[in-house]
């Protein structure tokens, strides 16, 4: 598999925030979001067989592993990697951008699936059928850049009854809307979703890699 980086850190978002976690960043992405902070994962990387990846992760001694990208699902070997990690009894998170079919992943892998808002310029690429394959362990994430994105997210959450089928996360793109503003909107609307900050960006340098 083409891998951009493997590192140990704490999970900076999702319901697993704050826990020690091994990250496997798969190279390549099929989208080009306006706010992308991992452009370095689009190309390059090193070719690694799955056993070498497992070995590197084993050395970190975490219970949680996050497969991320880029977009991990454009690599055909990602489902097998997830399966092998599950066999080793890790809790496996797979961060996916919502533009690929998630059915290829093992059921026990926890999908953290983006639904890209209009200002990301990637909304039109969403694979909407994925919503039918989500389970209560999975999480759906909206990254907002504007009030317009927020209004869009509200409609999507209500239309698809998302809070009934998965955990719903809302955050902001770096340098866009102040978190306080979004929290006020959420409270005014009584939206039963989890607001999240990417805490790794507060702990380490905003541009830091491998943390």
- What residues make contact with ligand SF4 under the rule CB under 6 A? 29, 31-33, 36, 38, 41, 69-71, 97
Provide the strand spans (E) within 18-166: 20-26, 46-47, 64-68, 91-96, 110-114, 139-144
Taking the least distance from each CB to ligand SF4, the nearer of 36 and 211 is: 36
Taking the least distance from each CB to ligand SF4, the nearer of 31 and 157 is: 31
CA distances from 171 to 65, 77, 116, 129, 149 (A): 22, 30, 12, 23, 11
Q: How far is the CB of 103 from ligand SF4 (least distance, A)?
A: 19
Contact between 170 and 140 (Cβ < 8 Å): no
Contact between 66 and 78 (Cβ < 8 Å): no
Taking the least distance from each CB to ligand SF4, the nearer of 46 and 158 is: 46
Q: How far is the CB of 128 from ligand SF4 (least distance, A)?
A: 16
Taking the least distance from each CB to ligand SF4, the nearer of 84 and 142 is: 142
Taking the least distance from each CB to ligand SF4, the nearer of 31 and 57 is: 31
Q: Would you give the distance in Å from CA 211 to the centre of its chain?
A: 15
Q: How far is the CB of 26 from ligand SF4 (least distance, A)?
A: 10
Beta bridge partners, 172, equal 144
Q: How far is the CB of 73 from ligand SF4 (least distance, A)?
A: 10
Contact between 172 and 184 (Cβ < 8 Å): no
Contact between 143 and 173 (Cβ < 8 Å): yes
Q: How far is the CB of 27 from ligand SF4 (least distance, A)?
A: 10
């Amino acid at each position: 598999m083409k891998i951009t980086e493997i590192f140990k850190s704490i999970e900076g978002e999702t319901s697993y925030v704050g826990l020690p976690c091994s990250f496997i960043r798969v190279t390549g992405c099929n989208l080009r979001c306006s706010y992308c902070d991992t452009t370095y994962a689009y190309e390059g990387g090193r070719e690694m067989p799955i056993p070498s990846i497992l070995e590197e992760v084993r050395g970190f001694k975490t219970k949680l592993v996050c497969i991320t990208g880029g977009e991990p699902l454009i690599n055909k070997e990602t489902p097998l990697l997830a399966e092998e990690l599950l066999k080793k009894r890790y809790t496996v998170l797979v961060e996916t951008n919502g533009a690929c079919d998630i059915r290829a992943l093992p059921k026990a892998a926890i999908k953290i699936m983006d639904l890209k808002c209009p200002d990301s310029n990637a909304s039109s690429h969403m694979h909407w059928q994925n919503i039918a394959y989500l389970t209560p362990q999975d999480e759906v994430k909206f990254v907002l850049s504007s009030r317009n994105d927020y209004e869009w997210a509200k409609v999507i959450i209500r239309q698809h009854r998302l809070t009934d089928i998965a955990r719903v996360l809302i955050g902001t793109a770096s340098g866009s809307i102040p978190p306080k503003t979004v929290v006020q909107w959420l409270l005014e609307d009584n939206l039963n979703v989890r607001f999240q900050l990417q805490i790794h960006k507060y702990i380490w340098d905003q541009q830091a890699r491998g943390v």
